[in-house]
Homo-oligomer: A and B are copies of this chain.
Amino acid sequence: MIPVSDLTAVRRALASHEIETPSWAFGNSGTRFKVFAQPGVPRTPEEKIADAATVHRFTGVAPQVALHIPWDTVEDYGALASYARDQGVRLGAINTNVFQDDDYKLGSVTNPDPGIRRKATDHLLEAISIMDATGSRDLKLWFSDGINYPGQDDLRTRQDRLAQALRETYDRLGDDQRIVLEYKLFEPAFYATDVPDWGTSYAHCVELGEKATVCIDTGHHAPGTNIEFIVAFLLRQNKLGAFDFNSRFYADDDLMVGAADPFQLFRIMYEIVRGDALHPDRGIAFMLDQCHNIERKIPAVIRSVMNVQEATAKALLVDRDALSAAQSAGDVLEANAVVMDAYNTDVRPLLAQVREDAGLDPDPMAAFKRSGYQERVDAERVGGEQAGWGA
């Protein structure tokens, strides 16, 4: 049992937790086989921000929304940031996109063609200019670059090209800006990806400097990879910058975080708690990156935020003293039991309390449903072109 005084600390930690939502989660998405459109989907960046703000209004812990360029391109980013503030949220990470132009068929910053590399790097630099306007801290870099066939291009030369583009981009960063460099095992490249694993991202970030950190997308690993080990290791190296949360059974399924393996999410959040990295001041961005292909999008994001909260609450409930004692004593069963005791606790009443303390409805899903927001946007957002991946 956790004493009441500790529960106060847990509640405080939960109240200060921040989860960043992605603008594109509110747009249409799908697989290569089909994108199923949904009613009420935003047509503009503003409508996406309105949906993200709705998620924040009901959860209280999602005050920031990430943009994807060019999907969220606008004339005036200052005005967009101001719009977001009016809605009660802030603009967060700027996500670059160097994978949807015809030029990028064989890569962007690692393309054999120097002209295309130049174009891709320029896009990264432009994204920093957008960050200047939005006040964003994080430049999120994901490169779809890779090759499909052995021999198609030279693995090592592509690393040289990658390093060069990263260096140029890094040098353009302002004092309060940073790179978070994502890695991914495969897709859309099917033989070799230029940043396939955390080790590659880490090595480049170390060479770049302090303002470059690794971004862990929880769906981007080989089967069997122990993600919480990577979390613990990167925290120790001071090189963890961000998460792209989602969940997967097979590949980069992009399901709602916590839906496929809630125990894994708990173990990840435990390493965050253990590394004292939960508070926003610690600089870890907890972002969602998901595809709600078949489920309604806004409640799916609300559910995802709640799933992260529940995993975090359980992680905070781990009796760290008892755990240390069992670990030191080499008591395998007891140490595991301490962790499982927290995991098996139903934290939903605790989180309901945290929400009530913050003046929120204790049940965000029910409150959203009652709010009529979905029905309203379904009715209003007719005509125009629904937002999507823009491919």
| Complex Cα–Cα for A217 and B139 (A) | 36
| B154 and A267 contacting across the interface, CB-CB below 8 Å | no
Instruction: Give the nearest-CB partner of A271 in chain B.
Output: B155
Contacts A155-B229, A224-B186, A249-B190 given; indicate if A99 touches B345 (C-beta within 8 A). Answer: no
With contacts A236-B159, A262-B263 taken as known, whether A152 is within 8 angstroms of B187 at the C-beta atoms is no
Interface string of A337-349 (1 = CB under 8 A from B): 1111001111010
Asked if A251 lies at the interface with its beta carbon under 8 angstroms from chain B, I say yes
A303 located at the interface, meaning its Cβ lies under 8 Å from any Cβ of chain B in the complex:
yes
Contact indicator per residue, chain A 291-334, by CB within 8 Å of chain B (1) or not (0): 00111100110010000001000000010000110111110110
Q: Which of B37, B99, B159 contacts A102 (CB 8 A)?
A: B37
Q: How far is the CA of A10 from the CA of B252 in the complex (A)?
A: 38
B333 contacts A295, C-beta separation under 8 Å: yes
- The reply to whether the CB of A232 lies closer than 8 angstroms to some CB of chain B is yes
Q: Would A332 and B294 be within 8 Å (CB), given that A31-B32, A224-B222 are in contact?
A: yes
Instruction: In the complex, identify which listed stretch (A119-127, A200-208, A379-387) lies at the interface while the others stay far away.
Output: A200-208
Task: Assess whether B196 is in contact with A197, with CB atoms less than 8 Å apart.
Answer: no
Instruction: Count chain B CB atoms within 10 A of each CB in A148, A338, A340, A391 and give the residue with the most.
Output: A148
Assess the B330–A274 pair: CB atoms within 8 A: no
A106 at the interface (CB under 8 A from B): yes
- Kindly report how many copies of this chain are found in the complex they form together: 4
A85 at the interface (CB under 8 A from B): no
Check: A280 CB closer than 8 A to any chain B CB. Answer: no
Complex formed: what's the CA distance from A226 to B199 in Å?
13
Give chain B residues whose Cβ lies under 8 Å from the Cβ of A391: 30, 32-35
List, in ascending order, chain B residues with CB within 8 A of A34's CB. Answer: 99-100, 104, 188, 391
Segment among A61-69, A73-81, A167-175, A253-261 that sits at the interface with chain B: A253-261
Interface string of A98-136 (1 = CB under 8 A from B): 011010111000001100000000000000000000000
How many Å lie between the Cα of A236 and that of B185 in the bound state? Answer: 20
Per the bound structure, the CA–CA distance linking A253 and B251 in Å amounts to 11
Q: Considering only CB atoms, which chain B residue lies closest to A262 in the complex? A: B263
Q: List 21 A-B contacts (CB under 8 A).
A: A32-B188, A33-B187, A35-B391, A106-B332, A150-B339, A150-B340, A151-B339, A152-B327, A153-B335, A156-B233, A186-B253, A192-B228, A224-B250, A263-B263, A294-B332, A295-B336, A299-B333, A303-B333, A303-B337, A310-B344, A344-B348
